[in-house]
Amino acid sequence: MTFLRPKQEQKPQSNPSSSDKPPDKPSETPPLKNLLQLFQWIILIVLILWSLSIFWSPTQTSVKLPYSTFLDQVRADNVTKVDISGSQIEGSFQTALLWPPVPVTTTATSTISTSTISTSTTSADTTPVANLSTPLATAAANVTSTAQLTATALQSQSLPYMDFSTNFPADLGDSTLLPLLESHNVVVNVSPSSVPWLTLLLTTGLPILLLLFVFGLMGRQMMNQQSNIFGFGNSGARQHVVSNYPEVTFKNVAGADEAKADLSEIVDFLKEPTRYHQLGARMPRGVLLVGAPGTGKTLLARAVAGEAGVPFFNLNGSEFVEMFVGVGASRVRDLFHQAKESGSAIIFIDELDAVGRRRGAGLGNTNDEREQTLNQLLVEMDGFDEHHDLIVMAATNRPDVLDPALLRPGRFDRQVVVSLPDLRGRAEILRIHSTPLPVATDVDLNKLAQATVGMSGADLANLCNEAALGAARQRHSQVTMSDFESAIDKVVLGSERPLVMSEQARRIVAYHEAGHAVVAWLLPEADPVNKVTIIPHGRALGVTEQLPSEEQYNYNRLYLLTRLSVMLGGRTAEEVAIGDITTGAENDLVEATRMTRRMITRWGMSDIGLAAFESDETQPFLGYELSQGRGYSEDTSARIDQTVQKILSERHQSVTQLLTQNRRLLDALAQALLAHETVQQSQLVAILGQRPQSGKSANSPESVKSLVSVE
């Protein structure tokens, strides 16, 4: 089972009730919203103006003076008052002060020039002196004019100030300042030093803001916790409305034709409920999807909702069960309340066995919360109004553990079995999942479908992904058939693991796998051998791979006995060729014993008779058989054990005789495995000859391959 990629286009819903509604009118903006928008704009304009005011430079009315100039003005009785705040001194003048000061021009230049000329005249030669006097006078005149121009420029830049500010030398100190101010009748005002706003913000405001922020977070968390407490009983179901999610229909589902046929009637009922109500028909209240994991039960439920065009409520069964008794029942009530408000809807509960297990079953298996939740679910499903177009769908892969009250008519009236896909379904699923891949021309999807008997849609999707990953790892430009074959080996057998073994250990594994292969090759009723390898895969040291030739859903007794012979072939080959036995046959012996016991106790394939004897493995609840009692005597139990041993001994003797007679083939295949590690089917034909033909072959789709491994 798989699904196609959903298309982006959305089809209009076919619900007649929704088509009769008038189109929605455009919503008008409420006045309150306009007021809020206006208030936001006002705040934004105020913030912008406030930001500009920080950088705006107003007209300066106070001058910054050096401390020495301040003292000179005090001594000149030009200071009327001062305000002292820390090291900052501000005050006012009695007479406006021009700042910066204008330098005083003097006649030093002309004096220097005249003296120079006079001194020069004392020399004996008066003619050169007379000649030098004219340049000196000219230079002096130039300097004088430059000084006058500079003074004029500075005077034009000077401004009168009535207020001033200066800094007191706090580090050096000045004990004469106050006496000087008092002696010149200066009014002195002293105030504490003011802290800058940035320092105040960082030292006082920022911690307060951080505390307010922390308290706000704590309050918000407490409010959330309180809301969670009050909403503890809400279902938390995920609602999927068709108009909001990509549409999934039956076209997106492949490999489940029988299930789609069973669910098409429910789709028709949800589309046209009036036609059924007029005839007095009542749709099944619940549909239980039963199938192996990965077969697409959830996808089928979504496809039903997509076909009918109704809301889809999805919830997992474990989400009902909580530690507190009564919470699950409250969530069930809330879930059905939401679904009923939506009109026609589908409630899908995945993993129903998590909440719907049999009550009072097993030893110490009582759970009050789960039982209360199950009781509420039973009440809700049994209390539907006949005019409520509400259908409950659930999925489980363990229908044997469900409470019988859930399965009675009136609750889950129908059980739809979602089986594993057949050959045609697997080919279609592989075609869907390989569409986005750059597949090479040598890929045969039909052959891959034959090699993947028993795989679900999820397994096939994983197979395509593994093939793409392997192709990328091998630097291939396209996904080839060899990539798919390697992906099948990795999915079924496990990844290859490097393991250093001695020659003796490799020889034991080679004869073990050769024994499985030779027995399966010589017995025509066994599944054909596809590959034999002694390369460790997963937890197995070696693997013999058998591919079913066709799908068959029944086993005959001859086929089961042949499978027992193949399972015992590895252990017997160790006895014949090595002369000793190892622990590598553990998995073979466990599987052979389990199959033999089923042949006796469940299928009536022994001398004990046709009676079926229930075994403990059919009961999933711990201690449940203690209250039920055993349906057969101790003598019958002893006869079952003896018959199991008898059948296994007979198969062992038959396999020993077969391998002894074909020792040459056993040795040849073992030597080929030691030399090449892996032997394919074409090489097996060259080593063992043509395989005997059988009239029929019995194979099961429940097992992908019959794997006989050495652990």
pLDDT mean across residues, the chain? 76
Q: Which two tokens stand for residue 4?
A: 């196609």
Distance CA 459, CA 432 (A): 13
Q: Which of 262-266, 505-509, 620-624: highest mean pLDDT? A: 505-509
Which of 128, 159, 192 is the C-terminal boundary of a domain? 192
**Would the CA dihedral through 273, 279, 285, 290 be positive or negative?**
negative
Cα distance between residue 601 and residue 613, in whole Å: 5
**540 exposed, middle or buried (CB, 10 Å; 0-12, 13-18, 19+)?**
buried
| Statement to judge: residues 594 and 671 lie in one domain | yes
pLDDT on residue 118 = 43
Distance CA 412, CA 405 (A): 9
Decide if pLDDT at 703 tops 80. no
pLDDT attached to residue 112: 41
The predicted pLDDT at position 551 comes to 75
pLDDT for the residue 267:
83
Does residue 10 belong to any structural domain of this protein? no
Instruction: Read off the DSSP letter of residue 540.
Output: B
CATH number reported for the structural domain that contains residue 481 in this entry: 1.10.8.60
Of the listed ranges 35-39, 437-441, 501-505, 687-691, the one predicted with least confidence? 35-39
User: With the C-alpha atoms ordered 547, 549, 551, 552, is the resulting torsion angle positive or negative?
Assistant: negative
Question: Would you state the structure tokens that stand for residue 615, as one six-digit string?
Answer: 């075994």
* Between residues 11 and 140, the one the model is more confident about: 140
Three-state SS string over 90-149 comes to: EEEEEEEEEECCCCCCCCHHHHHHHHHHHHHCCCCCHHHHHHHHHHHHHHHHHHHHHHHH
CATH number at residue 288: 3.40.50.300
pLDDT digits (tens, 9 = 90+) for 581-604: 998 889 999 999 999 999 999 898
Q: Are residues 378 and 487 in the same domain?
A: no
Q: Please check whether residues 430 and 561 belong to one and the same domain.
A: no
| 2 inside domain | no
Q: How far apart are CA 685 and CA 691, in angstroms?
A: 8
What is the number of other CB atoms lying within 10 angstroms of the CB of residue 393?
29
Which tens digits make up the pLDDT trace of 62-101?
888 888 888 888 888 888 888 888 788 888 888 888 888 7
Res 471: pLDDT: 93
pLDDT at 323: 57
pLDDT above 90: residue 265: no
Closest CA to 658 of 563, 546, 566, 533: 566
| Least confident range of 193-202, 271-280, 391-400 | 193-202
pLDDT exceeds cutoff 80 at 462? yes
Q: What is the CA radius of gyration of the chain?
A: 50
Residues across the chain: 711
Give the DSSP letter of residue 617: G
The DSSP result for 467-480, as a single string, is: HHHHHHHTT-SSB-
What does the alpha-carbon distance between residue 439 and residue 448 come to, in Å, rounded to a whole number?
13
Q: What is the pLDDT of residue 646?
A: 94
Is the confidence at residue 411, as pLDDT, over 50? yes
Of residues 113 and 159, the one with the higher pLDDT is: 159
Residue 395 pairs with which residues in a beta bridge?
289
Question: Residue type at 232?
Answer: F
Counting residues of the chain whose pLDDT is more than 90, the rounded percentage is 16
Per-residue model confidence (pLDDT) at position 240: 55
pLDDT at 523: 92
- The whole-number pLDDT of residue 567 equals 94
DSSP category for residue 616: G
Q: List Cβ<8 Å contacts ≥24 apart for 186-190.
A: 186/74, 186/79, 186/80, 186/81, 186/82, 186/91, 187/80, 187/81, 187/82, 188/81, 188/82, 188/84, 189/81, 189/82, 189/83, 189/84, 190/83, 190/84, 190/85
pLDDT at 96 (0 to 100): 85
Instruction: Give the pLDDT score at 128.
Output: 44
Mean pLDDT calculated for residue range 22-48: 60
pLDDT bracket for residue 3 (50, 70, 90): very low
Q: Is the peptide bond before 100 cis (omega within 30 degrees of 0)?
A: yes
Reported as a single tens digit per residue, the pLDDT across 169-226 is 877 778 888 888 888 888 888 887 766 666 666 666 677 777 777 777 777 766 665 5
CATH of the domain at 660: 1.20.58.760
Same domain, 282 and 326: yes
Residue 254 φ/ψ region, left for φ over 0, alpha for ψ in the -120 to 50 degree band, beta for the rest: beta
Amino acid identity, position 403: D
Question: Are 254 and 314 in a shared domain?
Answer: yes
Digit-coded pLDDT (tens) for 101-136: 766 554 444 444 444 444 444 444 444 434 434 554
pLDDT of residue 455 exceeding 80, the answer is yes
Residue 253 pLDDT greater than 60, yes or no: yes
Asked whether the predicted pLDDT for residue 9 surpasses 50, the reply is: no
In a domain, 225, yes or no: no
Confirm whether 392 is domain-assigned. Answer: yes
CB-based contact 681:549 (threshold 8 Å): no
Answer yes or no: is pLDDT of 483 > 70.
yes
In this prediction, residues 237-260 reach a mean pLDDT of 69
Instruction: Indicate whether this model's pTM tops 0.75.
Output: no
Give the mean model confidence (pLDDT) for residues 683-704: 65
Token pair 């420029």 in the structure block, residue: 153
Q: Do 386 and 431 belong together in one domain? A: no
Query: What's the whole-number mean pLDDT along residues 19-48?
Result: 58
Predicted pLDDT of residue 336? 82
Strands 159-167 and 238-240: what pairing? unpaired
* Residues 76, 175 within the same domain: yes
In which domain, by residue range, is 374 found?
238-418
pLDDT score for 472: 93
The reported pLDDT for the residue numbered 125 is 43
Shared-domain flag, residues 167 and 296:
no
Same domain, 406 and 258: yes
Average pLDDT in the 375-394 region?
A: 75
Say what the pLDDT of residue 262 is: 84
Say if residue 555's pLDDT is above 90.
no
- 302 confidence band (pLDDT: 50, 70, 90): confident
Q: What is the mean pLDDT of residues 435-446?
A: 90
Residues 635 and 518 in one domain: yes
The single-letter DSSP state of residue 392 is E
In angstroms, the CA 72 to CA 645 distance is 126
Sign of CA dihedral 452, 455, 460, 464: negative
Give kind and range of the element (H or E) at residue 423.
Answer: helix 423-434
Letter for the amino acid at 515?
G
Residue 347's beta-bridge partner residues?
313, 392
> By C-alpha distance, which of 593, 568, 588 is closest to 711?
588
Helix (H, G, I), strand (E, B) or coil at 690: coil
Within a domain: 511: yes
Q: Which of 358, 386, 418 is the last residue of a domain?
A: 418
pLDDT recorded at residue 104: 55
* Tokens 């018959």 found at: 643
Where in the sequence numbering do the catalytic residues fall? 513
Same domain, yes or no, for 157 and 250? no
Residue 241's pLDDT is what? 54
Nearest C-alpha neighbor of 563 from the set 588, 597, 531, 532:
588
Q: Smallest Cα–Cα separation from 433: which of 242, 255, 700?
A: 255
Please report the pLDDT score of residue 245 as a whole number.
53
pLDDT, residue 195, reads: 63
How many angstroms separate the Cα of 662 from the Cα of each of 534, 561, 582, 688?
Answer: 21, 20, 22, 10
Same domain, 439 and 546: no
Residue 25 counted as domain residue: no
What DSSP letter does each residue of 307-353 carry, written as one string?
A: HHT--EEEEEGGGT--SSTTHHHHHHHHHHHHHHHTSSEEEEEESGG
Q: Tell me, yes or no, whether 467 lies in a domain.
A: yes
Report pLDDT for 205: 67
- Contact (CB, 8 A) for 525 and 559: yes
Point out the domain boundary residue: 418, 434, 454.
418
Contact 92, 73 (CB under 8 A): no
Q: Residue 449: enclosing H or E segment and its boundaries?
A: helix 445-451
pLDDT at 626 over 60: no
Retrieve residue 172's tokens: 């050096």
In a domain, 695, yes or no: yes
Which residue would you say has higher pLDDT here, 482 or 237? Answer: 482
Number of domain units in the chain: 4
- Asked if 699 and 453 count as a contact pair (C-beta separation under 8 A), the reply is yes
Instruction: Give whole-number Cα distances, 206 to 203, 211, 215, 368, 607, in Å.
Output: 6, 9, 14, 53, 91
Q: Worst-scoring range by mean pLDDT, 4-8, 299-303, 400-404, 679-683?
A: 4-8
Whole-number Å distance between alpha carbons of 331 and 321 = 9
Query: Is pLDDT of 464 > 90?
Result: yes
Stated as kind and residue range, the H or E segment containing 414 is: strand 412-418
Task: Supply the pLDDT for residue 330.
Answer: 79
Q: Is the pLDDT of residue 705 over 50?
A: no
